[in-house]
Structure 1
Amino acid sequence: MEDTTSFQPATAIVTGSDSGIGRATAVALAKAGLDVGVTWHTDQQGAEATAEEIRSLGRKAVVRRLDTTEVREAAAAIDELAKELGSVDVYVNNAGTGDGTKFIDLDLDTWMQTLNTNLNGAFVCLQAAARHMVKQGRGGRIVAVTSVHELQPRVGAAAYDASKHGLGGLIKTMALELAEHGITANNVAPGEIATPMTGQTDEDPTQADRPGVPLGRPGDAREVAAVIAFLASPASSYVTGATWAVDGGMLQMGPQAGSHITGHDWRSV
Structure 2
Amino acid sequence: MFEIKGKRVLITGGSRGIGLSYVDALAKQGCEIVFSHYMDTEKAVAECQRVEDTFNTKIHHIESDIADEKQTEDMVAQAIDILGGIDIMISNGGICKFTEFMDISLDNWNRHMNVNLNGPFRVTQLAAKQMIKQGDGGRIIFTTSVGAYRSNAKQTHYCVSKAGLSLLSMGMAIELGEHNITVNSIAPGWIHTDINDKESRDLKSVEPWIDAKLSVARLGKPKDVESAVLFLASKEAEYTTGSTIFVDGGWNAQL
Shared topology, TM-score over 0.5?
yes
Q: CA deviation at 1:8?
A: 7.3
> Does 1:153 find its partner at 2:151?
yes
Q: Which runs of 5+ in 1 are unaligned?
A: 1-5, 255-269
Partner SS state of residue 199, structure 1: helix
In the alignment, which residue of structure 2 is the partner of 1:101?
99
Q: How does 1:122-137 map to 2 (within 5 A)?
A: 122-137=120-135
Alpha-carbon distance between aligned partners in 2 of 1:9 and 1:219, rounded to the nearest angstrom:
29
Over residues 22-51 of structure 1, what are the superposed CA-to-partner deviations in whole Å (9 max), with x where a residue is unaligned?
Answer: 011011001111100021102112212221
**Closer/same/farther in 2, CA of residues 13 and 144 from structure 1, 3 Å limit:** same
Partner of 2:17: 20
Amino acid at match of 2:181: I
1:198 and 1:59, CA in 2 relative to 1: closer, same or farther beyond 3 A? same
Distance 1:220 1:98 in 2: 17
Matches of 1:21 and 1:135 in 2, distance apart? Answer: 29
Displacement over 6 Å in runs of 4+? none
One-letter amino acid of the structure 1 residue matched with residue 89 of structure 2:
Y
1:137-216 superposed matches below 5 A: 137-199=135-197, 209=207, 210-211=210-211, 212-216=213-217
Name the CA distance, whole Å, in 1 between partners of 2:158 and 2:6: 32
Q: Which amino acid aligns with 2:45?
A: E
SS at match of 1:96: coil
Alignment equivalent of 1:54, drawn from 21, 44, 51: 51
Q: Distance in 2 between matches of 1:237 and 1:127?
A: 20
One-letter code of the match for 1:43?
A: D
What is the percent sequence identity of the aligned residues?
A: 33
* Displacement of 1:75: 2.1
Per the normalisation by structure 1, the TM-score is 0.86
SS of equivalent residue, structure 1 residue 100: coil
State the partner residue of 1:40.
Answer: 37
Counterpart for residue 257 of structure 1: none
Question: How far 1:86 sits from its partner (Å)?
Answer: 1.0
Q: Is the 8 A contact 1:15 1:93 kept in 2?
A: yes
Q: 1:50 to 1:226 in 2, by over 3 A?
A: farther
In structure 2, what is the Cα distance between the partners aligned to 1:175 and 1:8? 24
Structure 2 unmatched runs, 5+: none
- TM normalised by structure 2 equals 0.90
Amino acid at match of 2:21: A
Report the counterpart of residue 222 of structure 1 in structure 2: 223
Count of aligned pairs between the two proteins = 245
Secondary structure of 1:228's match? Answer: helix
Change (3 A) 1:34 1:116: same
Residues in 2 aligned to 1:224 and 1:213: alpha-carbon distance in whole angstroms = 16
Change (3 A) 1:41 1:7: closer
Q: What are the superposed Cα offsets for residues 216-253 of structure 1, whole Å, 9 maximum, x if unpaired?
A: 00111111122111100111111100111100001111
1:238 is aligned to 239
CA contact (8 A) 2:5 2:31 kept: no
- Separation in structure 2 between the aligned mates of residue 158 and residue 75 of structure 1, nearest angstrom: 29
Tell me the amino acid that sits aligned with residue 53 of structure 1.
R
Q: Distance in 2 between matches of 1:228 and 1:158?
A: 26
Secondary structure of the residue aligned to 2:30 is coil
Greater shift after overlay, 41-50 or 81-90? 41-50
Q: SS at the partner of 1:215? A: coil
Q: Distance in 1 between matches of 2:41 and 2:5?
A: 30
What amino acid maps onto 1:92 in structure 2? I
Aligned partner of 1:3 in structure 2 is: none
Structure 1 residues 40 and 163: alpha-carbon distance in aligned structure 2, compared to 1, 3 A threshold:
same
Q: CA deviation at 1:102?
A: 2.8
Contact 2:40 2:63 survives alignment (8 Å)? no
- Check the 8 A contact 1:149/1:161 in 2, yes or no: yes
Counterpart-to-counterpart distance in 2, 1:54 and 1:36: 10
